[in-house]
Structure 1
Amino acid sequence: MRGAEALVGSLVGAGVEVCFMNPGTSEMHFVQALDAVPEMRGVLALFEGVATGAADGYARIAGKPAAVLLHLGPGLGNGLANLHNARRAGTPLLCVVGAHATDHVRHDAPLESDITAVARTVSGWVHTSGDARDVAADAMRALAATSERGGQIATLVLPADVSWSEGAAPAPALPAAPPYPPDPGRVAAAAAAVAEPGAVLLLGGPALGERAMDAAGRIAAATGTRLLVETFPRCWDTGAGRPRVDKLGYFAEQALAQLDGASSLVLAGARSPVSFFGYPGVPGDLVPDGCPVLGLADTATDACAALEELAAAVAPDAVAEPAPRSAPQPPPGPLDVRSMSAAIAAELPDGAIVVDESLTAGAALAPALQTAAPHTQLALTGGAIGQGPPTAVGAAVAAPDRPVVAVQADGSALYTFQALWTQAREQLDVTTVLINNSAYAILRVELARTGAGEAARSGRAGRMLDLSDPTPDFVSLATGLGVPARRVETTEALLDALRWARAEPGPHLIEAIVPAVG
């Protein structure tokens, strides 16, 4: 048996049944193994950043490791931004990178590069397989490593000759590393903290599932503790019937106001909050002076169990107050981000997955979704834009019975718009609401916040933040990639388009024209 066939067969045996890929010459034997091992589903992407983002979205929703196949060092480099987002999310992800045949490396061919050096920037585990007889076992070690530290990227470098050589055999799966159990001392310290007025419980990472949110809601109901969710949650069960919790603000000033007066800050699966960027005269550490920070559970700990133990200690008889289902119909007339967000909330199906890369529109979208149908949100965990379209691909592959609604800013969509082709090819149930304000609107805001000054749209600086002249035609672009699309400019038209997309199988794009910001 060839090395690649043994590797793919072992992955299937270990429960990995999908591989997102953008292969090249060095990966041809892996591709051929898809015929020999038909249980493995290959999903083709037109760009490596789509493949890596899709693997991230798949793992977040499936709750198990994802696999991605990339071509040599440049292919890995092209996929790096969404691997960065996956790393920040704690996503268990196996990244297989093809390499030149071992005896070809000495020729320093044009695509030769230091793959392991690039891989280590995002991976917690890196290994180059050196023999076909070992490759399946190497893959099983890599897969097991994805569960360590609460979830990480493991990169297996696969030389072409290791793929094509005979003598390989499948290897059995290795046990995944379980999360650490809650620390009784940390639970006790958190119990003392939330018993005091003014405590804040910041939820993130593994603490955002339905059970964990219910436990947090009971703690809040019994003690008056304020609940906050990290700014960009990796996988958050929210909406009607679940505790109503605000996100920590993106801008430092917003977060500082939310945390002002906190007597203590208890972290459950979240990192201690810091500003996304440094600004003149604005603190980078967002914890108020004198506020103690207590770690109830880090990302490698069973955060749900820790919250349930804390709830048992301080709120044994409490009941979480659920958010009502009361998303109102938005006002008619020309669209803006508020009416757009209200329309999305009003039409959101039960059990939907919302992929949120709305960026500047997020301030309106987040509160609108709090009383929408119960759903799961995936967000831009690492801040590297272009995550939304591919993450929607992975989420839809992982949960074909759940509709996916991707709320997508126009500028960041152009980074990975090729993902729509994969949505069309796989006939995925994804509705993309693309917010077109013809600008990198967030950067217009940031230009002033960083002290660089205001940007006149007619000026040279303003032109660097503008997406007009020419303005991309997203309806034409989507149609050209095989996705039916509409352009809407009013609330009524958006509501009608959302119903149209929901009524038909397969992907759709709705280009929502909203006023420019700044």
Structure 2
Amino acid sequence: MSDVNGAQALIRTLVDGGVDVCFSNPGTSEMHFVAALDHVPEMRGVLCLFEGVATGAADGYGRMTDRPASVLLHLGPGLANGLANLHNARRARTPVVTVVGDHAGYHKAYDSPLESDIDALAGTVSGWLRRSAGAADVGADAADAVAAARTSPGRIATLILPADTSWSVGAAVAAPRPVEAPAAVPADAVAAIAAVLTSGEPCALLVGAGATRTRGLVAAARVAAAIGAPLYCETFPARLERGAGRPAVERLPRAADQAARRLAGVRHLVLVGAQAPVSFFAYPDQPSSLVPEGCEVHELGTVADDLPAALEQLAELVGAPAEAPLQAAARPELPTGELTLDAIGRLLGALLPEGAIVVDEGVTSTRQLPGPTAGAPAHDWLTLTGGAIGQGLPVATGAAVACPDRPVVCLEGDGSAMYTISALWTQAREQLDVTTLVFSNRSYRILEGELANVGAAASGPRSRDLLELGRPELDFAAMASGMGVPATRARTAEELADQFRRALAEPGPHLIDVVLPGS
């Protein structure tokens, strides 16, 4: 019998399958996994102080590498703490291998305090779910989990690892499973879309997963140019490659009325890896679907297909130009004076470094940024795909682990920052090059607008009190410094420009508390 225990076989199988980072918040039932890290030094363990940081970091890592990281969580409550960012990862179609420890099989009948229905919890976010029955099964289960996570376009694979399965010997390492390449969109399906686009009726293209990288965008821009149609991408793309030298694409606005105006008059909406647009929430007397009345929706393949190749075929069929229109390089002048949202947009457009990874959870504070940053050097933009706030700092952490040679800029709202503020500690511990701008307006500003949207009103101090973040004031510079992250506070455009330059020039993480007017 092999003297390798289940945990050792699991980690070795993960590493052999290309999963060599584990974002972790372990407990007693995962201690053999922790000990096994010394036997498989190729696995990088990254400690996170909250499970939502671990799951969000795995999301950021997967978005930037197109391969999964692993996450180690402690029983059902640990998984529950990480569910919000697993929800975001699921909506981003990010590959993640989640390992959740469980009680030893013989112990579960005693209903100890941490006993819960892990399978049910995991099922809410997992595209693949399995419980290892014994040490002899762990290697094969792990190999299957990696293959499932890497199945195009990526999904969350969850492996439940009972403690006795982890510590028992007799396990064997399993070889990596083959991963199928994305399927080709049938030629007749591409031809049918070409016929729609050349019908002479008003059309629009909406791209999403699989088509928001440069290759897909170039082909989509060629198609749009050939037929004179607008090109949009989903409101919250998992990873949008943009900037100078890349095709310009407008994100469909989050506000339902603005999105509806963009699509007004369109008779044919072609989806490329995107979902048909819907309102973020239900509002009284407003439609949920944002597809215009009388507009027909067409899909060019599915998210599991090779969408860039299909777009290139489509471009040829519609007689598209050989070259796509590309965004010209342009830098706004540095602003001076008050730190308005317009000034912040121009400042970032002027100073954003080449190759930056921008993680955007600024919510209301970053809506004006796409315009002034469009001509900045080529960069990637990662957004809040699932709407569950507390994503920005963890995703930035994972992106920095994935791409240590690229600067990461995290644009963070003050309310959402408090959900996962402990990510700063992990950034300091790992010395990650993340520059975080916290936009301090001292309120849940987005909810102030939502009150009107849903027909409610904050008519008195008790209702307004639930939307304000004062009393006491949140001191982000102090919090960051307390976790080992150098921090400053900016109240003018000149101060922000100086502090942002210095943060980008120095290695390791930095935080700037951007104090907005009126806060």
Same topology, TM > 0.5: yes
The one-letter amino acid paired with 1:118 is L
Residue of structure 2 in register with 1:142 after alignment: 145
Matched, 1:242 2:262: no
Distance of 1:352 and 1:501 partners within structure 2: 13
Describe how 1:312-327 pairs up with structure 2 within 5 A.
312-327=316-331
Distance of 1:474 and 1:185 partners within structure 2: 56
Displacement of 1:287: 0.2
Distance of 2:449 and 2:518 partners within structure 1: 12
Residue of structure 1 in register with 2:99 after alignment: 96
Residue of structure 1 in register with 2:220 after alignment: 216
Pick aligned residue for 1:206 from 207, 210, 222: 210
The one-letter amino acid paired with 1:270 is A
> What whole-Å deviation, never above 9, does each CA across 1:426-455 have from its counterpart, x for those lacking one?
0001000110000000000001110002x3
Pick aligned residue for 1:443 from 423, 447, 462: 447
The alignment yields a C-alpha RMSD, in angstroms, of 1.2
Displacement of 1:51: 0.1
Do 2:225 and 2:320's aligned partners in 1 also have CA atoms closer than 8 Å?
Answer: no
Residue of structure 2 in register with 1:80 after alignment: 83
Matched, 1:114 2:117: yes
> What whole-Å deviation, never above 9, does each CA across 1:42-75 have from its counterpart, x for those lacking one?
0110000000000001001011122111000000
Residue of structure 2 in register with 1:311 after alignment: 315
Distance of 1:366 and 1:380 partners within structure 2: 15
> What whole-Å deviation, never above 9, does each CA across 1:150-181 have from its counterpart, x for those lacking one?
22111100000111111111110101232221
Distance of 1:86 and 1:186 partners within structure 2: 30
Distance of 2:331 and 2:440 partners within structure 1: 23
Displacement of 1:327: 2.4
> What whole-Å deviation, never above 9, does each CA across 1:170-193 have from its counterpart, x for those lacking one?
110101232221122321122122
Residue of structure 2 in register with 1:515 after alignment: 517
Describe how 1:52-451 pairs up with structure 2 within 5 A.
52-148=55-151, 150-195=153-198, 196-451=200-455
The one-letter amino acid paired with 2:117 is D
Residue of structure 1 in register with 2:35 after alignment: 32
Deviates more, 1:139-148 or 1:34-43: 139-148
Residue of structure 2 in register with 1:499 after alignment: 501
Distance of 2:320 and 2:443 partners within structure 1: 51
Between Structure 1 and Structure 2, how many residues are aligned?
Answer: 515
Distance of 1:310 and 1:509 partners within structure 2: 45
Displacement of 1:336: 1.2
Displacement of 1:318: 3.4
The one-letter amino acid paired with 2:126 is S
> What whole-Å deviation, never above 9, does each CA across 1:74-124 have from its counterpart, x for those lacking one?
000000000000111111111000000111111111000000000000001
Do 1:217 and 1:319's aligned partners in 2 also have CA atoms closer than 8 Å?
Answer: no
The one-letter amino acid paired with 2:85 is N
Deviates more, 1:170-179 or 1:280-289: 170-179
Displacement of 1:498: 1.0
Displacement of 1:489: 0.8
The one-letter amino acid paired with 2:5 is R
Do 2:219 and 2:312's aligned partners in 1 also have CA atoms closer than 8 Å?
Answer: yes
Displacement of 1:240: 1.1
Do 2:434 and 2:509's aligned partners in 1 also have CA atoms closer than 8 Å?
Answer: yes
Residue of structure 2 in register with 1:480 after alignment: 482
Pick aligned residue for 1:467 from 466, 469, 484: 469
The one-letter amino acid paired with 1:91 is T
Distance of 2:93 and 2:220 partners within structure 1: 21
Displacement of 1:368: 2.1
Do 1:186 and 1:295's aligned partners in 2 also have CA atoms closer than 8 Å?
Answer: no
Displacement of 1:363: 1.8
Distance of 2:29 and 2:42 partners within structure 1: 22
Displacement of 1:263: 2.2
Displacement of 1:396: 0.5
Do 2:338 and 2:517's aligned partners in 1 also have CA atoms closer than 8 Å?
Answer: no
> What whole-Å deviation, never above 9, does each CA across 1:447-469 have from its counterpart, x for those lacking one?
1110002x36x611111000011
Displacement of 1:149: 5.8
Identity over the aligned pairs, expressed in percent? 55
Displacement of 1:300: 1.3
Describe how 1:44-59 pairs up with structure 2 within 5 A.
44-59=47-62
Distance of 1:345 and 1:185 partners within structure 2: 43
